Amino acid sequence: MSVLSEVLGNVNDSNDNLNRIEDQLFTAVDEPKIALREDWQVPKGKEIYTSKGLWLGSVGEKYESLQPLDFFNAVVDNVQDSGMAFDLSKLQYNVRKDSTIIEFRLPTNIISFKNAAGNKDETEMFLNFWTGFGGNARTEVGLYSHRFICSNGMRIINADIDLKVKHTENMNVKALTFTKELIGLASKVQSTSQIWEEMNNVQIDAATKENFVRALANMKKEEAYADISKKKQKIYDSISEAMATEFSRTGSTVWGLLNGATFYNNHLAARAGDEEYILLATGAKENLRAQKLALDLI
């Protein structure tokens, strides 16, 4: 295949994928609220629906939905304007929290190194683009990782560019322009790789491991296992089980501690297997907390 044919093939693949995504997008409809009775005062604000009639929330009068198509076009334009070699044929579209959040996910590269247990450790990195609908809506760009060994997903600490844009007609313009931030975020992939390799090089002892597990289980330093609740004992035991599993394939390192924590959150916690739990709920908070604890050890 000639170089020109390959380039044209890649362009066609990207266009086909982008067209497929565009066909899946809904339109957000901002409807003024109405009085429940004819003689009642009309309430202030709006109700948001999808074009298929799914209710997304109640908002104030100044709110204006950021249309999924506008955000999608902004993601594509910003990626292209960044000048970096991202493959838009691999852009993914996901709907979260009953359509109140939409997400576009784009792979960047694979971080790979040999871990302390002698195993090839590979993690695929993604750019995540989110926007939401409703009173708490915001636009966010960040990094997400998926580790192959344990099939663990994790939002990366200190890699979220929270635009904190309230959705109004004027502010939505700001939410659509993030090329500079995108370039900066992509550079964090390399620094994240360096941090993980440093974690892999720091061996830990049994006491450090115990303190890490106790911190994740929200146990006080002076608390004895026998004195905590049965529920907390179960959490402690599950985290310890996750650590044992992870140390066998990763090594007794800070990297092993971090991945033991994510293995617990992704596979053993109450809502294990629920990606929204890892992205948006308690699992996301716990994985971020584990990253902070791990960073303190290097």
pLDDT at 211: 96
Q: What element of type H or E holds 18?
A: helix 3-24
pLDDT at 140: 86
Q: What is the mean pLDDT of residues 261-265?
A: 94
Q: Which residues contact 124 (CB under 8 A, 6 or more apart)?
A: 107, 109, 110, 111, 145, 146, 148
Domain count, the chain: 2
Please check the confidence at residue 9 and state whether its pLDDT lies above 80. Answer: no
Is 291 among the domain residues?
yes
Q: What is the mean pLDDT of residues 93-116?
A: 94
Is 138 among the domain residues?
yes
Please check the confidence at residue 6 and state whether its pLDDT lies above 50. Answer: no
Same domain, 285 and 157: no
Mean pLDDT of the chain: 89
Q: Which residues contact 18 (CB under 8 A, 6 or more apart)?
A: 76, 88, 91
Six-digit token pair at 152?
């663990």
Q: What is the mean pLDDT of residues 258-271?
A: 90
Tens-digit pLDDT profile for residues 213-237: 999 999 988 889 999 999 999 999 9
Same domain, 238 and 155: no
Boundary residue ending a domain (127, 157, 187): 187
Is 197 among the domain residues?
no
Return the sign of the alpha-carbon dihedral for residues 78, 81, 82, 85.
Answer: positive
Find out whether 266 and 276 touch, Cβ atoms under 8 Å.
no
Boundary residue ending a domain (157, 187, 217): 187
pLDDT at 3: 46
Is 161 among the domain residues?
yes
Same domain, 125 and 26: yes
Find out whether 71 and 165 touch, Cβ atoms under 8 Å.
no
Q: Which of 17, 183, 189 is nearest to 87 (CA)?
A: 17
Is 196 among the domain residues?
no
Total-model pTM: 0.86
Same domain, 179 and 212: no
Same domain, 174 and 27: yes
Q: What is the mean pLDDT of residues 271-279?
A: 79
Same domain, 150 and 247: no
Boundary residue ending a domain (125, 160, 187): 187
Q: Which residues contact 61 (CB under 8 A, 6 or more apart)?
A: 44, 45, 46
Is 193 among the domain residues?
no
Tens-digit pLDDT profile for residues 113-150: 999 999 999 999 999 999 999 877 788 888 999 999 88
Range of the domain at 248: 202-295
Same domain, 81 and 49: yes
Same domain, 23 and 113: yes
Q: How far apart are alpha carbons 238 and 243 in whole angstroms?
A: 9
Is 42 among the domain residues?
yes
pLDDT at 139: 87
Q: What is the mean pLDDT of residues 162-189?
A: 78
Q: Which of 69, 130, 138 is nearest to 103 (CA)?
A: 130
Same domain, 82 and 179: yes
Identity of the amino acid at 278? I
Same domain, 161 and 221: no
Q: How far apart are alpha carbons 246 and 256 in whole angstroms?
A: 6
Is 131 among the domain residues?
yes
Tens-digit pLDDT profile for residues 145-175: 999 988 888 888 776 665 667 777 777 888 8
Q: How far apart are alpha carbons 57 and 65 in whole angstroms?
A: 11
The β-bridge relationship of strands 120-132 and 92-96 is: unpaired
- Confidence grade of residue 31 (pLDDT, cut at 50, 70, 90): very high
- Confidence grade of residue 7 (pLDDT, cut at 50, 70, 90): very low
Same domain, 172 and 61: yes
Annotate 149-215 with DSSP letters as a single string: TTTEEEEPTT--EE-----STTHHHHHT--HHHHHHHHHHHHHHHHHHHHHHH-B--HHHHHHHHHH
Same domain, 145 and 212: no
